[in-house]
Chains A and B, each alone.
Chain A
Amino acid sequence: MTTTTPSKLERILAAGHFAVTSECGPPRSADPEVVAHKAQMLADFVDAINVTDNQTAVVRQCSLASCIRIKQLGLEPVLQMVTRDRNRIALQSDLLGAASFGIHNVLCLTGDHQSFGDHPNAANVFDLDSTQLIQTVKMMRDECKLLSGFEMKDCPKMFIGAAENPFADPFEIRVSRLAKKVAAGAQFIQTQCIYNMEKFKKWMQGVVDRGLDGKVAVLAGLTPMKSVGMAKYMKSRVPGMDVPDDIIKRLAGVPKDKVAEEGIKICVEQIQELKEVKGVRGFHIMAIEWEEKVPEIVKAAGLYPRPQV
């Protein structure tokens, strides 16, 4: 298997292993410990750790600084970048800075609209969109050029990721849109959290039918439910989320002190089931402010120990 970058995540996928990634959200403060603490919890149980970029348009410690911190701990970061807050000058500059620290994975996103965040009056940028950021990273890596055409001496070696939401409406667009991101240069995909397994499988079938599974590694996104309230909130308030009533019913059907445990159980069952789905190449476990549960999930799902490549 040939790889295009020094990324460990890419090597694991190329070797045919299921990849496991997780993410850590930086704090809304200058605290130097939070990211390091979360990353160390995940260290032995995942292949790479995403750092979110001001997710839900709420100001947090920056993704790049946090990724450098994770890298310096000897771990593998995935730099999430949204196009909402920075234009093509700042994005390319940050990519160069990241590469200079040996960060070799990037997840290209457009980002949540600022009206959802803590600064709804902010101006937005959206100079590029996610697909164009993918094109940009690819051009920087493969042609060793900036968007301006300027030729660089050392180009950033980035394994290029993107997100996809198999559940967004209309459903018929979703495979097509993945195809577009793949055409732009996406090599791995981390999906929106999956709760509706039937719909996900239908999407995945569409991906396989188009032969896209041979071109891009799909990591199935999973977020364990902590409570019934969380499930209801995700269903009704989070754009693009598809939470079937069965999940809410199952969580509501156990005693209150067992709900979190049930949430973990659902997540583990999902991973087992998804291992059998053609085209699924790994798992992206987003335990929101619940990172300490990731080791338990990874172990229970039979994904531990992580392969050494």
Chain B
Amino acid sequence: MIIAKPKPIEEIIETTKEFKKILVAGCDGCVTVCEAGGMKEAQIVGSALRIYFKQQGMDVKVDEISLTRQCDRPYVAQLEEKLKDYDAVVSMACGAGVQFLAEAFKDKPILPGVNTCFIGVTEAKGEWTERCQACGECILATTGGICPIARCSKRMSNGPCGGSANGKCEVNKEIACGWHLIYERLKELGQLDRFERPTSPKNWNTSRDGGPRKVVKEVSQL
């Protein structure tokens, strides 16, 4: 899923304080699972804004809602009627959701309520870690199911570099060395021969380097 984290409330206050009627819109998708931008977090932001504006003696209306998804038009369209009552929206969705609302409601300022971080997993309760950088050409079949692009700080194809120690990355001892993990896993799978085979330069064109991307499934367009 897409992992995000809530923006500091001070930053949200700064971007919303010129408005009188604010809707905080959560998303029931990924950001709910990673506890950054679901209904619960929308209510927390809403409460914090109400307290702030009240303390400042400002008469500001703040309400909350959460959409099934902010990255799908039918769900976004459900906001149409409701938005007439508001002059700004704080979207608690990922960057895709924020932009999709902005495209749908051209006359309303849509403000981000979270920082979108990465594609990852729930590592432990309250902890999420990165697994994928959406390079568009998956190589996990050759690397023991562990991605060197997402998990090596130098995204090496032929790692590890000389700086890892005790299975940790030289950049930060909190980070596992992706190539150490790959090596150990290949060993477990009896595929160590793969480790010594040089991997040729990657085609990054399918990654963000190729420009904004699009996936088309023709059969679904009929």
Residues of chain A at the chain B interface (Cβ within 8 Å): 84, 88, 110-113, 115-116, 124, 126-132, 134-136, 147, 163-165, 168-170, 173, 176-177, 179-181, 183-184, 192, 239-240
Contacts and interface: CB of A to CB of B under 8 A. Distances in A.
Nearest to A163: B162
Interface residues of B, number: 28
B163 interface: yes
A115 B157 CA distance: 20
A28 B101 CA distance: 48
Nearest to B166: A169
Given A84-B154, A165-B162, A239-B170, 9 more contacts: A110-B156, A116-B170, A163-B162, A164-B162, A165-B163, A168-B161, A168-B165, A169-B167, A179-B196
Contacts of A184: 158, 198
Interface of B is mostly: loop
A93 to B, nearest CB: 15
B52 interface: no
A180 B196 contact: yes
B109 interface: no
A132 B198 contact: yes
A192 to B, nearest CB: 6
A116 B156 CA distance: 17
A276 to B, nearest CB: 25
A-B residue pairs, 3 tightest by C-beta: A165-B162, A239-B163, A131-B158
B195 A130 contact: no
Contacts of A126: 154-156
Contacts of A240: 161-165, 170
A113 B201 contact: no
A180 to B, nearest CB: 5
Contacts of B180: 170
25 contacts: A84-B154, A88-B201, A113-B170, A115-B171, A116-B170, A126-B154, A130-B156, A130-B161, A131-B199, A134-B198, A135-B200, A136-B201, A164-B162, A168-B161, A169-B165, A170-B167, A170-B183, A173-B195, A179-B196, A180-B158, A180-B195, A184-B198, A192-B162, A239-B162, A239-B170
